[in-house]
Amino acid sequence: MTDLIVNSCGPMTALQDRGRFGYQRFGVSPSGAMDFRALAMANVLVGNTPEMAAVEFVNLGGAFTAEGGDLRLAVLGAGASASIDGTPVPPLTSFILKEGQTLEVGHPRTGAFAYLAVAGGLAVEPQLGSLSFHLRSRLGGLKGAPLQAGNRLPCRPEAQGGEPMQLTADIIEETGPIRVMLGPQDDYLTDDAIRTFLENEFTISPQADRMGFQLTGPKLEHAKGFNIVSDGIVHGHIQVPGSGQPIVLMRDRQTAGGYPKIATVISADLPRFGQMRPGAGVRFQAVERSEAVAAARRLKDWIADLPSKLVPVRFDLTTEHLLSRNLIGGTIDALAPTAHE
């Protein structure tokens, strides 16, 4: 079996797929990739289904070596670069990492999360139907842990087949405020608080992780107190605790909570919001359900259409490409005597 050896990586580098579903009623967090658009793109580039598990990088990159055979891989997300033994890999392409070669993944430059997908997926045993690592419960990942130097990631046989591909799809680049639907407990906040929430900029605080992003900004006043009977939590719910500072709940969220929720980030904007770093400013815009559903359908259709946007990688003979390749197979001395002299 071919293994991908972890030479180095950041402390929260871990395996993530689309998440662990069907267990929230038992208190099990879904977890899953913070940017499922980038996860889908990386997977499609290597011939996988969009939701398969990949290596998720958080703020830092890493280095990996192929052992036991060649591997077909792809790196996507937040402008992270990739190089093989020092030679850059073109963006939006899959590539072959030959046995003994080392892949270096740069840190995400335009966000926080990037993904490394392996053709065929990883031969790692799922827990409750998913490989997604959840830090607080130690579910999923590689034996219930994030990755660290020295780990071996066993790869399925499909990882050694296929040719490098390039993704020609237009990247969805939404801009502007993060769209939300008000509720389900916006009546627990004053009318002034709702106006403040929608008309002012908030900042992602340093207390931001895969469980939730705490925001700092104008205080939001409660109309009925800040405690409710605990109810279910979904990805993107925005709680307002007693401090009046909102908390946007993310992939590793708890499954129930007792603070009122002023609004919910629509699913189509969750990847964009998840890529925001501490210190970034964020504004919110209230939309109706019809717009939220339409945006979700557009994103779903875009992901479903990704395989049709693949083309074989072609290397144009540009000066930059030629200079990046080793075109010399050896040298001879024309003045040296030959065996016939």
Residue 331: pLDDT above 80? no
Residue percentage of the chain with pLDDT more than 70: 91
User: Tokens 């799922």 correspond to what residue?
Assistant: 126
Please report the pLDDT score of residue 162 as a whole number: 83
Residue 324: pLDDT above 60? no
Cβ distance 80 to 59 under 8 Å?
no
Q: What are phi and psi of 89, to 5 degrees?
A: -95, 130
Please report the pLDDT score of residue 337 as a whole number: 54
Residue 241: pLDDT above 50? yes
Instruction: Using pLDDT thresholds of 50, 70 and 90, give the confidence band for residue 169.
Output: confident
Distance CA 205, CA 325 (A): 44
Q: Kindly list the domain boundaries of the chain, sorted by start residue.
A: 3-172, 178-287
Residue 160: pLDDT above 80? no
The pLDDT of 116-123, averaged and rounded, is 96
Please report the pLDDT score of residue 1 as a whole number: 79
Amino acid letter, 107: H
The pLDDT of 9-15, averaged and rounded, is 96
Residue 317: pLDDT above 70? no
Please report the pLDDT score of residue 338 as a whole number: 47
Please report the pLDDT score of residue 321 as a whole number: 47
**Nearest alpha-carbon partner for 194 in 208, 207, 180:** 180
The pLDDT of 223-228, averaged and rounded, is 92
Please report the pLDDT score of residue 10 as a whole number: 95
Please report the pLDDT score of residue 210 as a whole number: 95
- For 191-206, write each residue's pLDDT tens digit: 999 999 999 999 999 9
Q: Which CATH number fits domain 178-287: 3.50.50.60, 2.40.100.10, 1.10.10.10, 3.40.50.620?
A: 2.40.100.10
Distance CA 130, CA 289 (A): 30
- For 277-287, write each residue's pLDDT tens digit: 999 999 999 99
The pLDDT of 159-184, averaged and rounded, is 87
The pLDDT of 210-223, averaged and rounded, is 97
Distance CA 309, CA 313 (A): 12
The pLDDT of 18-44, averaged and rounded, is 95
| pTM to 2 decimal places | 0.89
Please report the pLDDT score of residue 158 as a whole number: 78
Residues sharing a CB contact under 8 Å with residue 39, sequence separation 6 or more, in sequence order: 16, 17, 18, 33, 50, 51, 54, 56, 76, 77, 115, 117
Q: Per the structure block, which two tokens stand in for 331?
A: 């040298």
The pLDDT of 17-39, averaged and rounded, is 95
Average pLDDT, the chain: 91
Please report the pLDDT score of residue 336 as a whole number: 54
Residue 92: pLDDT above 80? yes
